[in-house]
Amino acid sequence: MRIADSVVVVTGGARGIGFAVGRSLSASGAKVVLADVLEPQLNESVDHIRSAGGRVTGVVADVTSDQDVAALMDAAIATFGAINVVCANAGVIRDGLMLEPDPHSGKIGRVLSTEAFRAVLDVNLVGAFVTLREGARRMVDNGWPGLLLVTSSIHMTGHPGQLNYSSSKVAVALWPKILVGEFHGCGIRHIRVVGIAPGYTGTEGLKNMDPAALHDVLKDVHLGRLVEPEELAATIAHVIENEAIDATTIEVTAGVTYGAWQRAR
């Protein structure tokens, strides 16, 4: 699939990885629709891409809402005439141990709340599902060639303190195989599905981390550095153009070398 003139919808597009993907694909000629709940940041990102000559629009949308996501996809079609790539990138983190004993009594002093667990799954899992479903149904109904992308994480291998987040990311990492199997079985041959699993990425939060803490994060990363958002965008551009890439999740981690058992030590 050519990037130029493709219509690309990116959720979580106001900042970080989503913004980098939108900016990069726009520079390559794509028509980009950024979506987010963070309206001021979304407007700023749209203005940034537009000032560079990009064809872009922004839509305020909550990916946990069927109505918002349907309206997002319809806005993409109304603005640019089609949908070719959907990147389900919106995500949240609510870290915490399931059980946290009090250091003095040994009894449980704090737990991971059901609200915090559900909030992550609602956005990262349900929101990704709704995003891909609403994009794909319009691709099928209109016969548009398409690519569904979902953002997983290296933490799909499991990370203590991220039971909710890791659960969501291992789930979506399975989706390319499952969805392509479903598409294959019912004769949908023009839509591919690919997951992208980033490692520690140089978004604002990590770049502003205390240097000692960041060093500890990177000690098991082979290249000894963060993945740049632009490197993830370049990977996605390659996936769009190389139609043999399908039904798989690609890790882009700068060489993360550990597993969950090491992180728990």
CB-CB contact of 204 with 17 (8 Å): no
Q: For the chain, what is the total number of helices (H) and then of strands (E)? A: 10, 9
- pLDDT score at 157: 86
Contacts of 8 (CB under 8 A, 6+ apart): 21, 22, 25, 30, 31, 32, 33, 84, 85, 86, 87
Instruction: Report pLDDT digits (tens) over 184-206.
Output: 999 999 999 999 999 999 998 88
Instruction: Report pLDDT digits (tens) over 147-197.
Output: 999 999 988 888 899 999 999 999 999 999 999 999 999 999 999 999 999
Structure confidence at residue 123 as a pLDDT band (50, 70, 90): very high
- pLDDT score at 121: 98
Instruction: Report pLDDT digits (tens) over 59-86.
Output: 999 999 999 999 999 999 999 999 999 9
Q: Phi first, then psi: give them for residue 223, nearest 5 degrees.
A: -80, -10
In the chain, which ranges are E strands?
Answer: 7-11, 31-36, 55-60, 85-88, 99-101, 108-111, 146-151, 191-198, 248-252
CATH architecture entry for 7-263: 3-Layer(aba) Sandwich (3.40)
Enumerate the domain spans of the chain. 7-263
Instruction: Report pLDDT digits (tens) over 236-257.
Output: 999 999 999 999 999 999 999 8
CA distance linking residue 140 with residue 209, whole number of Å: 44
